[in-house]
Structure 1
């Protein structure tokens, strides 16, 4: 799938890292797909489209020579080697090509992005991706992209066998789905391709599980059996989703203010909070002379009922943050605390002025996971939601399967989710 040439910049940073890029690239974590490969890190802007070459940050030039030419072409590989050599140029511009390996790597990187950042939201109607289905397709892609990896053990994205072992619960349902005649031709071809790559990867790793033996037997029949199967039913979740009531109000209290919080996806692990922009809210109550704040966050339907708990970070009038512990109650994270919610003092003027109401800012985070203030804002999150909706809609277009950017199996399953689920 070698494509037309694209001019890229190859240059040496101050720390010795060699950077390969077609243009400026910066953004919030959740707008970047990242793949750890032999001697380098590859990055793609997920909102830029499927034909984008990755940015490479090369920290060990020798280890990249096994794949660099196969991703960018020989000119880029030679330019990287020249920039790394003593007395070599600090930077050059050369022509790169979008190769087959570049396309497969982009798909693998996007799959890892989806496993971390997919904006699952009951309230926004964006269905969850089945982790085991996605994990098996990542195993297949990892096997397909083995040229990108070596045996140094410092690449967390390189082990197809571990992915198969971790996600083998989806093998039997995927095999049954493949044996069905219910899916469109494009989806059927893609499903068979994934299953055959999983089988190859398992065989190469010496894995022997009953599910893998059943898969191999089915693939050996050479053609699907034709038994109808609905992917939405095969992977149906049994966990209903109905929003629970929030924190019971304190007797005798009255509401004095309420508002939305900030739902920053970077501040907690995947699977904790519904990704909707309005998933976090707060209410201020007066109880005599005391002032209480209550915080609620809509829980992701996979949020842990036990174990690490979220906290709310509350700032009043720009002051220091206060932490409010949140507990999981059905489909909400909720908690309350007594805080000073005095109005923002009015400026000293000759005429009496009504004090401004307090400025309250609320976010949720997991202590120990929180990376700090986000670079991304609501516009970035809205763009990611729009991307997810487009991709789910594409699962019904046969031509969507004609490119390496086509739907993942997990997206097909998510699009088939019943209206009772989302």
Structure 2
């Protein structure tokens, strides 16, 4: 089964609408695959979207391939960007501002609701919720100046949509954003790679050490540098105790993250990580059993996982991540979203 990192998907009411990542990132999506999970729920919007004849085919087969609808493809891409965009200074790919993504996704969601009523019933977020998230704590005002005219245009579109929905307060709020953007101070999310582990104290020694990469599927989006080999670890023996030290370089924002060390699939240490200057780091003392293990096995036999370590997580491989990074780097400027254009303008360089 294709990993979600490779397959942008739109969860519709009673169905899943899938696109090829390479096509969406290249701005040339020609087809979309619709898989029905609840035919009765999907039939009304699918009929509006594809017509009665195509809907009968889909109901009989449980799935159908249709020409891609730009509105659906755009929303699927924005949802993918929110989860999987591989930002990192080590990759030369800037972060995308969450407020701008929320604003774009609010507009794209409204467009889809206009395209096929009922398609997004029970969707993960409404245009109102996304707009509220975008303007919370003046985040949109801080992110908007590099692309102020485009932000104003999206706010104007949302104001009209909210007005049609009789959401007077949000309509007025969206209309007010244009004027406020003219006086906003640009904000930019800074990110740097931090130094590795600290020097050892006198009398201490290293039993085992190594590097690891962060699996994108196991950590929240937009928190860590998406490059490879950003995790440094070592097991240090001292006179009083043995400890596991872990540093994850390249932090963009805070989150509750834990690292797990294992041998032959069996975990032997858990290290809560705390945000520092451009990194997450943590230390945990090892018990006697874990210390004996570290003393007798080769460093390469110890695995360190940052984030969720449960078997139920469909993890990404180094090959998965490299493929996505290559596609993002090849993305044509004309296909970029507002958040991408703002990131490029803030960095004052192409990426």
| Aligned 8 A contact 1:120 1:127 in 2 | yes
Give secondary structure in 2 for the equivalent of 1:326.
strand
CA offset at residue 204 of structure 1?
A: 2.4
Specify the alignment match of 1:330 in structure 2: 277
The alpha-carbon distance between structure 1 residues 296 and 43, as it changes in their structure 2 partners (threshold 3 A), is same
| Aligned 8 A contact 2:208 2:234 in 1 | yes
Specify the alignment match of 1:263 in structure 2: 214
1:65 aligns with 2:38: no
Specify the alignment match of 1:17 in structure 2: none
Normalized per residue, the structure richer in helix is 2
CA offset at residue 60 of structure 1?
A: 2.6
TM-score (normalised: structure 1): 0.68
Q: Which runs of 5+ in 2 are unaligned?
A: none
1:15-414 aligned at under 5 Å gives the runs 26-49=1-24, 50-69=28-47, 71-72=49-50, 74-81=52-59, 83=60, 91=61, 97-99=66-68, 102-146=69-113, 147-150=115-118, 154-157=122-125, 159-168=126-135, 169=138, 194-205=154-165, 206-208=167-169, 211-214=173-176, 235-237=186-188, 239=190, 241=192, 243=194, 246-247=197-198, 249-287=200-238, 291-304=242-255, 309-337=256-284, 338=286, 339-340=290-291, 341-344=294-297, 359-366=301-308, 372-391=312-331, 394-395=332-333, 400=334, 406-414=335-343
Q: Which runs of 5+ in 1 are unaligned?
A: 1-25, 84-90, 181-187, 219-226, 345-355, 401-405
The alpha-carbon distance between structure 1 residues 249 and 138, as it changes in their structure 2 partners (threshold 3 A), is same
In 1, the alpha carbon distance for the partners of 2:193 and 2:62 equals: 57
In 2, the alpha carbon distance for the partners of 1:256 and 1:234 equals: 50
Range moving further from structure 2, 379-388 or 170-179: 170-179
In 1, the alpha carbon distance for the partners of 2:257 and 2:235 equals: 20
The alpha-carbon distance between structure 1 residues 55 and 294, as it changes in their structure 2 partners (threshold 3 A), is same
CA offset at residue 329 of structure 1?
A: 2.3
The alpha-carbon distance between structure 1 residues 207 and 122, as it changes in their structure 2 partners (threshold 3 A), is farther
TM-score (normalised: structure 2): 0.80
| Aligned 8 A contact 1:39 1:62 in 2 | yes
The alpha-carbon distance between structure 1 residues 120 and 178, as it changes in their structure 2 partners (threshold 3 A), is closer
1:204-230 Cα shifts (integer Å, max 9, x gaps): 232435642335789xxxxxxxx9x9x
Give secondary structure in 2 for the equivalent of 1:114.
helix
Give the greater-gyration-radius structure (CA). 1
1:25-80 Cα shifts (integer Å, max 9, x gaps): x3223222222222222222323554253332323323323332455555431212
CA offset at residue 243 of structure 1?
A: 1.9
CA offset at residue 282 of structure 1?
A: 1.2
CA offset at residue 409 of structure 1?
A: 0.2
